[in-house]
Structure 1
Amino acid sequence: MNEIGNNMKKIKNIALIVSSTILVAMASPATAEQYLVKFKDVSNLNRVSNGMSINGVNVSKFEKQLFGGYSVIKTSSPVDQTDALVSSGYFDFVTIDKKIKLPQLDSEATMVSNLEKKTSSVANPKDVHLNSIDLNKYSDPLSIKELYLDEQRPYAMGNTSAIAAQEIVTNNLGRKVRIAVVDTGYQPHEDMEIPKDQYNPMISDYYRDKNGYIYRSMVGCATADPTNEGGDVFCAPENIVTKDVENNNALDKSWKPSSYVVDDNGNPVPNEYKVCVHGHGTAVGGTIASIRGNGVGVSSVLGSNNAELVYVKVLDSCNDGAFLSDIIKGIHWSVGDHFDGVTDISSPVDVINLSLGGMGNGGLCDVGFNAMADAVAYANSKGAVVVASTGNSALEATAATPVSCHGIITAAANTSNGELAPFSNYYNSRKNISAIGQDLLTPFVNTSVYVSRNGVGGVEGDCNKITNCYAYYTGTSLSAPVISSAVALIKMENPSLKAEQIFDILYNTASEYNTNEVGNKTALYKLSKNTRLLNMKDAVLAAKAYEIHLGDAKIESFLNGKSDNYVSQMISDFGKNNVCSKYVLTWKDFYKGSNVLTYNVYGQNTTGDVDLNSATLIGTTDVTTTLVDGSYSKFAVIGCAGGNCSAVSQVNLSDAVLPKLCL
């Protein structure tokens, strides 16, 4: 076995979860294992067929279709056959294509207690989420509840500045940005466009339920309601249709046994099937691109006027199961690869959202050593950026997959005030982006809504109708589409940027939140000091390459973050007026040119915008911070290079938070 083969074997056990409200646990295979394999010699493809034996391994099914050089072999034995397949001489790589089960997430109380074991940091609860969004801009009645789209600011550091970003972005793509949602599929909804491009690589497989009964997953019903209005809640066993080939139908719907009878041989057999609608994919997609200005529902981060969604169904609607191979196929199809018997995507996507993940075994997830890492690298080479959620276990995510794979932009979750969400996985040292992942209002359709029509689970809209329901979702599954939307805006502004450049922009323009508004170190800093909070407006400014742009100026007391004892001593030594009237003014520099910027800092007492013609020039500097006193009600900064200057970045003195001893 060569060195690469050895590394592949080490990482064969890979687990995936949907990361909004569920935690991973490996499920036992019902009947057999299947494997991702990579041939040493592609010509050997024609030497492998269903029913043959490879080095003593009986092949029950073999997919000749290659994706990224990989194929799938299903065996007739549940015993691990990795060693036998590797030693056959046919393959460079062999890794178990693990099928997994997704149980319920631990309670939020448990997650909070896990987090509190690591930190006692508590952010200030003061609610200053005053909505500055022009609510007349969109006729979406629930937009008033999407406060995370508003400007990022103190006490609302979890806001994303999404609307402000869209006010300044230039769509240099000349079209809508295309985003693949690799998930449970979609359900029709009043606030969502029906996807034109869809792909479903899943094949009906045997699944063992919690009672030990084995049934076929990912099935259809011959009497399914074509209107999708709920007339197919139950399906007779004789009408169950197995899915034996890939297709272009990503509808979030399947059926599973709801009752059993015992046959003449004493074996339990299904005598009725009930519909399943998961809803996760619809919620993820609805976070990105609901229909704006239609008089119903939410505005979403981007809106369907800016983004077109492509749905790839890789998770079964009934049991949340996903083969790693299906996710990899979904990535390849999304960037334009052909699969036999399936309609090609009309044009490749720009962004791929993976709101799924789980804790793996810590194996290397780098190109050449991992099938998922290879798929991500391939997508990047085709111009697509891949975003994945870190997961919801409140744990360090180094061993998480696929999020820890090389080339993926990671998505942790934070609360509305910017603190690390109590459930979110995180990285101790790796650079990471976090976005709001708690209580996001989004289109909602699940089995309860589909079956009962009594509003179960939904909190907004008319949930007595399948397509009119909305609910609050929580999890890193929601922070991922928020970050995917930011990637989309950067791609719109500057289509030439590569994945690693886009990550650099996101990270360098994201906000640090090391100390909260009352001077305490945050849990975000204590657990994940290299994680920063997404700021979409600043990211778009940075994408405007070779133009001079400054980020929003910020002001804080120079005593911010200091202990009460330190502040008290400073006041005793130098006097309250002297100490409490000193402020630190900071700003971000997004200039991409070769010249060094100089910054002019102005002060003015005014109720309107700072007028540079009449304002006082306080000073000139070549760094992005300066000390100012409280003599002016407003401050402004401009950056200049080569005779060109940026727009004015200004801030109110009243925005600064003072230590309590200065009040």
Structure 2
Amino acid sequence: MKRTIILSTISVLVMLSPSVMASIEVDTKVSVVNKEADLSKTVNLIVQFKDKNIHKALLANPKTLAKLERKAKADNVSLISLKKTYNVQSNVAYEYGMSSLKSLSEKNSIQFEHVRSMSMGADVVKVTSDSPIALQNLIVELINSGDFDSVMVDDVVKKMNFNDTLYNQQPQFKQPSPSTGDGQNFEAMRNKVVNNLGRKVRIGVVDSGYAPHEDINPLVEGYDFTQEANDKYLEAKTRDADPTDLSILADGLSCHDGHGLSVAGLIGATSNNGLGVAGAVDSEEADLVYARVLNCFGDGASSDILDAVAWMMQEEVPEVPTIAAPVDIMNLSLGGYRIAGCATYEQAVYTKARDKGIVVVVAAGNSNDDAKTFAPASCNDVITVGAISRKGDKASFSNYGDNIDVMAAGSSLWMIASNEYKTQELYFSGSGTSMSAPLITAAAANLLLTHPTLTPDQIEGILSANGQGSKPGSLCAQLGCGKGSVNVSNVMDAIPNLLTSIKYEKKHRYEGYNSPEQKVWLDKMNHYASVCNMVKYTWGNLGTELSGVEYKLYVGSNDELVYTETISTPQKVLSHDKDTLVGVQTCKNGTCGSVVQMRGNITSPSSCL
């Protein structure tokens, strides 16, 4: 979970694809557009009106009403009940919304055309622009007008490319070792899972949709959020309850992507069936819920993705029936380049998911770049996952940086592919952070099955605490890979072995603060506290607060430790000299383990030497 302080109250984001960009600063955020994109015709914007009645008025537009009236007549049900089912009920007249749009158009000298309503009070509107700079200026003007809470471009988002017969070729199931640097011990993890949830765990796959396969369970539930009307397809595509990854092109040929199927297989392919690969979650313990947001060419719109995420957490999405029950975990192996990072509305959606107790796992991206310029990888309240190579270091393609939370295997992994609509093999080997994210999604699912009261923050904390870190001099050490590749077997041991764990880390609080700017900062800080004596201790495999668990700290020297305090988090920064000895005793519901002495050398910043 990444927590950053945003100084501006509104994020302004203009981005169409990862090419050369022009930028303009608005408050503390940067807007970006693609110079190569054709903006001379139309551009869709995702907006939140300051006047909330505009959104309410536009919910029941004539086109939607006509569709619902036909359905009401065909199904012999009332129009009122259908409005409620499809989340377009409103007590504000449609005319009010249209007149407000007209007024806003006149005020801002731009023609707004309402495309559709979204979840959480947002709308998609169509505008025209002659150039990228003109679009930038327009968005700045809209923000400054005071009529909008947020404005962002409806970006094109792309997939992140990448006794079962192939089981021995799945490195994620093996233990980490010099020969399997990307081993994550999923075999041991699966053997430790006990379903205490009382039902199947519900895992949302927000991707290219469902496809049938010999090694995946049949479709249980899903929805198709894609909607397109262009000459590529035989007929216009509208949203519906069939998330199958299939479209018919204008020439009559079928078009199928398969990315979502591969992601789903990494999570929950059927195991012990004598076929292909094994999923990281027992397929008998999980229901996969599919949201199709990428078309058969692997492209999708941010508005469709955000609506799908909202739908998965049981929020009302206009013109889409509300899901019967929310998912427990979502996987998004997709994203796009965003120099400004996560937009305001986008962040609100992911924060709402975490607040509702849903774990969201996202891929870091495959551009070998800092993840801070990609979304949703740069958003808070998600678990951002990078890929490691077979040698255990950052994969050459994987994004990196402070926004990475953990890493997982993502190089040459065997996965499933559908030959239902294409002539291809049923199994193939591929790479990408799209392959890494599903493994962490599966790890979170196994943990939740066994310990169903855990919150998203706690699940992320346990996963992070069991990251294997970075080797000195590695790409991960230089560029940033979060807590590193997760040993998922240790994840399952974190709670049962709480009182007997002897794992700890002792390091200087400001280790690595050696740049000229950091030295100046440390010198200033030294006027308020003795920064050179600050040591950070972390211990155990839990990495988070847990009800009934507390830690007693002891401080002393020459093996004579004296109790000092009791805390609830498994980490502490202390200021002491180099000869001081610190110990910790873990207690759960009044029962305590042994005192663990946390010894070891530390590396101080150069200004302290």
How far is the alpha carbon of 1:322 from its aligned partner? 1.4
The whole-number CA distance in structure 1 between the counterparts of 2:161 and 2:488 is: 32
DSSP-derived class of the 1:435 partner: strand
Deviation at 1:75, TM superposition (A): 3.1
Unmatched tracts of structure 1, length 5 or more: 18-23, 106-138, 207-214, 220-239, 258-271, 456-462, 464-468, 516-520, 555-585, 599-618, 625-638, 647-663
Deviates more, 1:51-60 or 1:480-489: 51-60
After the TM superposition, which residues 256-655 of structure 1 pair with which residues of structure 2 at under 5 Å, given as runs?
A: 256-257=249-250, 272-318=251-297, 320-361=298-339, 363-365=340-342, 370-427=344-401, 429-430=402-403, 432-445=405-418, 450-451=421-422, 453=423, 455=424, 463=425, 469-515=426-472, 521-528=473-480, 530-544=482-496, 547-550=498-501, 588=540, 590=542, 593-596=549-552
Cα offset, 1:470, TM superposition: 0.6
Q: For 1:492 and 1:92, how far apart are their aligned partners in 2?
A: 39
Q: Which of the pair has more CA radius of gyration?
A: 1
C-alpha change, 1:620 and 1:278, in structure 2 (3 Å) is farther
Deviation at 1:378, TM superposition (A): 0.8
1:594-617 CA distance string (max 9 Å, x none)? 25499xxxxxxxxxxxxxxxxxxx
Q: How many residues matched? A: 465
- Distance in structure 1 (CA, Å) of the matches to 2:49 and 2:210: 35
Contact 2:364 2:404 (C-alpha < 8 Å) held by counterparts: no
- Output the amino acid matched with 1:75: V
Q: Which residue pairs with 2:114 in the alignment?
A: 61
TM-score when normalising by structure 2:
0.68
Q: CA deviation at 1:364?
A: 5.0
AA aligned to 2:292 is K
| Higher share of residues assigned helix | 2
Cα distance in 2, alignment partners of residues 621 and 440 from structure 1: 49
Check the 8 A contact 1:334/1:345 in 2, yes or no: yes
Structure 1 residues 553 and 439: alpha-carbon distance in aligned structure 2, compared to 1, 3 A threshold: farther
- Using the alignment, how far apart are the partners of 1:100 and 1:197 within structure 2? 24
* In 2: Cα distance, 1:179 partner to 1:278 partner: 21
Q: Which amino acid letter does the alignment assign opposite residue 68 of structure 1?
A: M
**Structure 1 pair 595–178 and aligned structure 2 pair: CA distance change class (3 A):** same
- The aligned counterpart of 2:566 is none
Summarize deviations over 1:27-66 as a string: whole Å, max 9, x none: 5358411111112121123223499572343333332x34
CA distance in 1, matches of 2:112, 2:226: 19
Instruction: Give the alignment partner of residue 168 of structure 1, picking from 185, 192, 200.
Output: 192
Residue 32 of structure 1 corresponds to 42
- Residue identity matched to 2:457: E
Which residue of the partner structure matches residue 179 of structure 1?
203
Deviation per CA, 1:361-420, whole angstroms, max 9, x where unpaired? 1x253xxx5221111001111111111111111122221211011111110000233111
Letter matched to residue 13 of structure 1: M
The letter for the 2-side match of 1:489 is: N
Structure 1 Cα separation of the partners of residues 261 and 491 of structure 2: 27
Q: Is the 8 A contact 1:198 1:248 kept in 2?
A: yes
Alignment of 1:233-252 (within 5 A): 240-243=234-237, 245-252=238-245
Report the AA paired with residue 345 of structure 1.
Answer: I
Equivalent in the alignment of 2:530: none
- SS of residue paired to 2:306: helix
Preserved CA contact (<8 Å) 1:16 1:357: no
CA-based RMSD: 3.7
Q: Which residue of 1 aligns with 2:525?
A: none
1:473-516 deviation digits (Å, cap 9, x = unpaired): 2100000001111111222233333322222211111112315x
Query: Within 1, Cα distance between the matches of 2:200 and 2:592?
Result: 32
The CA distance in 1 between the partners of 2:161 and 2:39, in whole Å, is: 19
Q: Secondary structure at the match of 2:371?
A: coil
Counterpart secondary structure, 1:48 = helix
C-alpha distance 528-339 of structure 1, shift in aligned 2 (>3 A): closer
Check the 8 A contact 1:157/1:533 in 2, yes or no.
no
Paired residue for 2:15? Answer: 13
Shift of 1:334: 0.3
Alpha-carbon deviation of 1:645? Answer: 5.7
What is the identity, as a one-letter code, of the residue corresponding to 1:440? L
Paired amino acid for 2:153: I
In the other structure, the counterpart of 1:72 is 124
CA offsets, 1:512-566, max 9 Å, x none? 2315xxxxx322222226441111111222255x942538999xxxxxxxxxxxx
SS in 2 for 1:371: helix
Q: Tell me: CA distance 1:529–1:97, structure 2 relative to 1, closer, same or farther (3 Å).
A: closer
Q: In structure 2, what is the Cα distance between the partners aligned to 1:16 and 1:324?
A: 14
* 8 A Cα contact 1:35 1:73, kept in partner: yes
Q: Deviations over 1:179-198 (max 9, x none)?
A: 11111112111111122221
1:90-127 deviation per Cα after TM superposition (whole angstroms, max 9, x unaligned): 4222221123578999xxxxxxxxxxxxxxxxxxxxxx
Does the residue aligned with 1:352 lie in a helix, a strand or coil? Answer: strand
How far apart, in 1, do the equivalents of 2:353 and 2:143 lie? Answer: 27
Aligned pair in 2 of structure 1 residues 533, 394: CA closer, same or farther (>3 Å)? same
Instruction: Verify the 8 A CA contact 1:160 1:435 in the aligned structure 2.
Output: yes
Identical-residue share of aligned pairs (%): 28
**Could you say if the C-alpha distance between residues 298 and 86 of structure 1 is closer, same or farther in structure 2, counting changes exceeding 3 Å?**
same
Query: 1:164: how far off?
Result: 0.9
- 1:549 and 1:32 map into 2 onto residues whose CA distance is 62
Taking the aligned partners of 1:42 and 1:142, their CA distance within structure 2 comes to 54
In the alignment, the residues of structure 2 paired with residue 156 and residue 486 of structure 1 have an alpha-carbon distance, to the nearest angstrom, of: 19
CA contact (8 A) 1:4 1:93 kept: no
What code does the residue aligned with 1:280 have? H
The alpha-carbon deviation at position 425 of structure 1 amounts to 0.8
Give the structure 2 partner of residue 579 of structure 1: none
